Amino acid sequence: MATVVLFSLGGAPGVTTLALAVAAAWPKPVPTVMVEADAAGGDIAAWRRLPVSPGLVELAAAARTDAPFADGAAAPVVLGCSQVLAGGQRVCVAPLLTDSAAGAVRLLAGHPAVLRADGVVTVVDAGRVAPRTPAASLVASADTALLVVGDDLAQLKRAQGSLPALREAVAHLGLVITGTATAAGQVHEALGVPVLQRVPADARSAAFLRGHAQPPRPYRRPLMRSARHLAERLAHTTPLTPAEKAGAR
C-alpha cells in the first residue's frame, strides 16, 4: 500500500489530469484509486457527469468517525468511497463547491491513514498547496509527493523559491514539469533538482481523461505515455505489500 500525492504551487499545470493519468497507467496487477482532494473543489464529477457521493465527503467522515486507523485497517474505506469510471478506474470525487471540499480535506489531513488500503496504490490530487494548510499536511504524509510545475517563467520562479522548504517538509519529493517550452537542462539549472518526468501538452489525451473524446489508441498518445513512464518509475520505488507481492508472482 502506498500514497502518491500530486500538487502544484499555483497556475494550472494540470494536476488533476495527470493524477488521473498516473492512476490509470500504474503497472498491473496493482490496482489504484484516484482521490480528488483539492480544497478548491473537484472537477471529475462535472467532467464525467457523476454524483459527488460516494466520494471525498464520505471518506472524510469515515476518517473522523473511525480514526485512528491501524496500518492497513482502512482497506475497504477508500475503495468504498470511490466510483468506477468507464474503463475500470476507481475515483473518489470531491464536491464541486469550495466550502464542502475544504472541510473534507481538513478532516482528511488530520487522518491521512484513511487513504491507505491493503494491496492498493492511492493517487491523490491535492490541487494548489500553500504552506500550513491542510493540503500541505496531506503532501507531507505521502509516501511520495510530486510537485507539478508548468514550464512557464512564473511557475518555475515560484517553485525555485519554495523548493528548499518543501524538501525539508517532504521526505520523498519528486518534480514533474508539464509542457515542453523549456529544456530539461535549463529547468534543472533553474531549480537545482532533477526532473523526474516531462509531460507534454496533449489536448486530445486530456479530453479523453475528462470523458470528452475517444481518440484512437489513447494510451499511445504523448500524455499517457509520459504518465506510464512516471508510474513505472514510481512503482519501482514503492514498497509492495505482501498482498501485492503475491499478486505479482
Q: Tell me, what's the pLDDT at 1?
A: 65
Take residue 39 and report the three cell numbers written for it: 480544497
Q: How many other β-carbons are positioned within 10 Å of the β-carbon of residue 89?
A: 21
Per-residue model confidence (pLDDT) at position 11: 86
The pLDDT of residue 144: 95
- Strand ranges (DSSP E) for 65-220? 83-84, 90-92, 121-128, 144-150, 173-178, 197-199
As a whole number of angstroms, the distance between CA 174 and CA 170 comes to: 10
| Type of residue numbered 125 | D
Q: What residues does 178 pair with on adjacent strands?
A: 150, 199
- Domain residues of the chain, as ranges? 2-241
Per-residue confidence in pLDDT tens, the chain, 249 aa: 699 999 999 888 999 999 999 999 999 899 999 999 999 999 999 999 999 999 999 999 998 875 444 444 444 799 999 999 988 999 999 999 999 999 999 999 999 999 988 889 999 999 999 999 999 999 999 999 999 999 888 888 889 999 999 989 998 999 999 987 777 677 777 787 778 899 999 999 999 999 998 888 888 999 999 999 999 999 987 544 434 444 443
Q: What is the pLDDT of residue 181?
A: 72
Q: DSSP letters along 211-237, please?
A: TS---SSGGGSHHHHHHHHHHHHHHHT
2-241 fold: Rossmann fold (3.40.50)
CB atoms within 10 A of CB 211: 15
